[in-house]
Amino acid sequence: MIEIQNIKFNNETRPNLGFEVIRLEELMQRDIEQDITLLHKVEFYQIIVITEGSGKHTIDFTDYEYTNHTLFTIRKDQVHRFFKSPSVKGFLIIFTEDFLASLLSQKEVARCHELFNKFLTSPKISVDDEDFKGVVSLINHIEIEYTKNYDEFSSGIIRNELHIFIYRLLRIKLKQGVSLPQHKYVSDFLNFQQLIEDRCFQTKKTLDYANLMGCTPKTLNNICKAIVDKSSKAVIDDILVTQIKRLLINTSLSITEIAYTSGFDEPTNMYKYFKKHTEATPEAFRQQHS
């Protein structure tokens, strides 16, 4: 079994910037230590922009077909993989959270994060001709600043252009009828999501998370219904299943060991839980992704 690679941000050209823009066709030809055609987890944010060609990309175990004029937004700690396709051209934009946050207000950073949250919006964005021209124009400006004009002002210029780029993608989503929630509960939901990601192996109970957030289970359920139209239990299940999937293909632990690691009293309980939510047994899922 091949374990998932954990890829940290490493820009050898500009090590202190926290940002990089790479042509996809150049990325596929790079001699890099990690094999990006295998499932890997990243510790930074990514935006993939397809300008030519067609193919497939996997994000958190879901395969997405794409053609030109397609973008993908990938949040840090998500698992994904590239598929090599000689016809594909485009850009990979990567940046750290610190790079995004260093010149933005807390409210602006939170809004930008919404674009990368799978509970709030799909990671795949298909863009029409007119909007795509604007997207590529922005990327070209960023690329020129990054590669040709780089000086003491470039970090601020790139950061602000990235900010504009993300807001343009939010506008495109809105034009397509995908309205990211402008609700007073958004920050509460994001807090709940982070708590689950940190603690889902310790507890699966809505009551425990409600206590951590200083509210009632009913209020927590209302928060989830308002933001993603799911119950709080469904959100917990979604995140827990993803974490179990990562254990199945990222470790050599036995199914029994994974069951205990993920907080189940008996392996059979984890087996039934996983099959209920994925329609596959843990062994079948592991074999499929080996």
Same domain assignment for residues 101 and 23: yes
User: In terms of residue numbers, what domain contains 9?
Assistant: 5-175
Same domain assignment for residues 158 and 193: no
Same domain assignment for residues 192 and 167: no
Same domain assignment for residues 25 and 89: yes
Torsion angle defined by CA atoms of residues 87, 88, 90 and 91, in that order, rounded to the nearest 10 degrees:
-140
- Please say if the pLDDT value at position 177 is more than 80: no
Closest CA to 278 of 248, 250, 258: 248
The answer to whether position 88 is within a domain reads: yes
Q: Determine the pLDDT at residue 181.
A: 58
Mean pLDDT of 36-46: 86
Residue at a domain's end among 144, 175, 206? 175
Quote the tokens at residue 58: 């996997």
Q: Determine the pLDDT at residue 104.
A: 67
The answer to whether position 97 is within a domain reads: yes
The answer to whether position 279 is within a domain reads: yes
**Domains contained in the chain, number:** 2
Concatenate the DSSP letters of all residues of 182-207 into one string: --TTHHHHHHHHHHHHHHTTT---HH
SS3 at position 151:
coil
Same domain assignment for residues 132 and 66: yes
The answer to whether position 141 is within a domain reads: yes
Q: How far apart are CA 60 and CA 77, in angstroms?
A: 10
The answer to whether position 181 is within a domain reads: no
CATH of the domain at 284: 1.10.10.60
Same domain assignment for residues 156 and 200: no
CATH of the domain at 132: 2.60.120.280
Walk across the sheet containing 89-95 and list its strands: 19-23, 89-95, 45-52, 70-74, 124-126
Measured from the Cβ of residue 39, the count of other Cβ atoms closer than 10 Å reads 20
The answer to whether position 180 is within a domain reads: no
Same domain assignment for residues 80 and 170: yes
Same domain assignment for residues 70 and 209: no
What pLDDT, in 10s, does the model give residues 188-203? Answer: 998 999 999 999 999 9
The answer to whether position 235 is within a domain reads: yes
Q: What is the pTM of this model?
A: 0.83
pLDDT confidence tier of residue 288, bands split at 50, 70 and 90: confident
Mean pLDDT of 42-58: 94
CA angle 203/205/213 to nearest 5° reads 90
Same domain assignment for residues 132 and 201: no
pLDDT confidence tier of residue 221, bands split at 50, 70 and 90: very high
Mean pLDDT of the chain: 89
- Please say if the pLDDT value at position 85 is more than 90: no
Residue 197's contacts (CB-CB under 8 Å, 6 or more residues apart) are 77, 239, 243
Residue of 107 and 77 predicted with greater confidence: 77
Mean pLDDT of 69-97: 91
The answer to whether position 32 is within a domain reads: yes
Same domain assignment for residues 23 and 107: yes
pLDDT confidence tier of residue 143, bands split at 50, 70 and 90: very high
- Please say if the pLDDT value at position 9 is more than 80: yes
pLDDT confidence tier of residue 102, bands split at 50, 70 and 90: confident
pLDDT confidence tier of residue 179, bands split at 50, 70 and 90: low
- Please say if the pLDDT value at position 82 is more than 80: yes
Q: Determine the pLDDT at residue 1.
A: 40
Quote the tokens at residue 160: 């602000």
- Contact status, residue 79 vs residue 60, Cβ threshold 8 Å: yes
Residue at a domain's end among 175, 208, 232? 175
Closest CA to 26 of 113, 101, 88: 88
Same domain assignment for residues 210 and 256: yes
Same domain assignment for residues 106 and 13: yes
Residue at a domain's end among 141, 175, 209? 175
